[in-house]
Amino acid sequence: MSYKANFKVWRGDADGGDLQDYTVEVNEGEVVLDIIHRLQATQAPDLAVRWNCKAGKCGSCSAEINGMPRLLCMTRMSVFTESETITVTPLRTFPVIRDLVTDVSYNYQKAREIPAFAPPKHLGLGEYRMKQQDVERSQEFRKCIECFLCQNTCHVIRDHEENKEHFAGPRYLMRIAELEMHPLDEADRERAAQEEHGLGFCNITKCCTEVCPEHIKITDNALIPMKERVVDRKYDPVVWLGNKLFRR
């Protein structure tokens, strides 16, 4: 069964743009990315869209559908009624390059700012030992496909360009939490999270968790535990004294 759907797609570039109307054929079982591809094939050959796997695994096709940050390839047309107008716009938090393609280099920059895993120097490769439960704890975070939907959604930077410099965003605070939970990592992740990567900006609204296509509990399992440890450390009298004596 096929029908014609009404679409509004944002067309433009860094200098500006607007929503353009299209009527496109939809067939049973299709996802929004199929419709965007049909649009390219039939009416708008120069429409820019980033995609790769069409299986929800490469994280490339992130956009906003009716204002909700989503993967184009994992959003079934069947979630909309046939008469509904579907609006597709680029991620709002990152600068537009063209049409649905944004410049997500902010995220790569934040990734580069996090020092790598720092195991004890006396351990060689193949000598790492850790408990199974510690391995399992970080498995959830490793499911991240770097779609940046969480980064796009977090209000700390969504409407506040000025916060970008000081805030790593949920995806990268989660990376720091993963390293902080690693029993062999020796870097001071708690201090870095608070002082360099803006953990304090996060007021646990959980919007990042809501949009994660991998259903990672970013807030509950990464950000809140790290916040708790930062607070514990601040109020631990032994740590407080140590900081007074050695960190002047």
**Contact residues for ligand F3S, defined by CB under 6 A:** 153-154, 156, 170, 202-208, 219, 223
In the structure encoding, which two tokens stand for residue 100, read together? 């649905």
* Residue number, 185 or 210, with CB nearest to ligand F3S: 210
* Residue number, 199 or 218, with CB nearest to ligand SF4: 218
If 0-12 CB within 10 Å is exposed, 13-18 middle and 19+ buried, where does residue 39 land? buried
In the structure encoding, which two tokens stand for residue 156, read together? 């700390």
The Cβ-side half-sphere exposure at 46, using a 13 Å CA radius, reads 4
**Three-state DSSP class for residue 3:** strand
**Hey, CA dihedral for 181, 199, 67, 19, is it positive or negative?**
negative
* Residue number, 37 or 227, with CB nearest to ligand F3S: 227
How far is residue 199 from each of residues 58, 211, 214, 244, measured CA to CA in Å?
27, 19, 22, 22
**Hey, CA dihedral for 138, 141, 144, 148, is it positive or negative?**
negative
| From 32, 47, 60, 179, residue interacting with ligand FES (rule: CB under 6 A) | 60
* Residue number, 72 or 207, with CB nearest to ligand F3S: 207
Smallest gap from residue 153 Cβ to ligand F3S (A)? 6
Contact partner, 205, from ligand SF4, ligand FES, ligand F3S, none, Cβ < 5-8 Å per class: ligand F3S
Contact partner, 57, from ligand FES, ligand SF4, ligand F3S, none, Cβ < 5-8 Å per class: ligand FES
Chain contacts with ligand SF4 (rule: CB under 6 A): 144-150, 171, 211-214, 216, 218
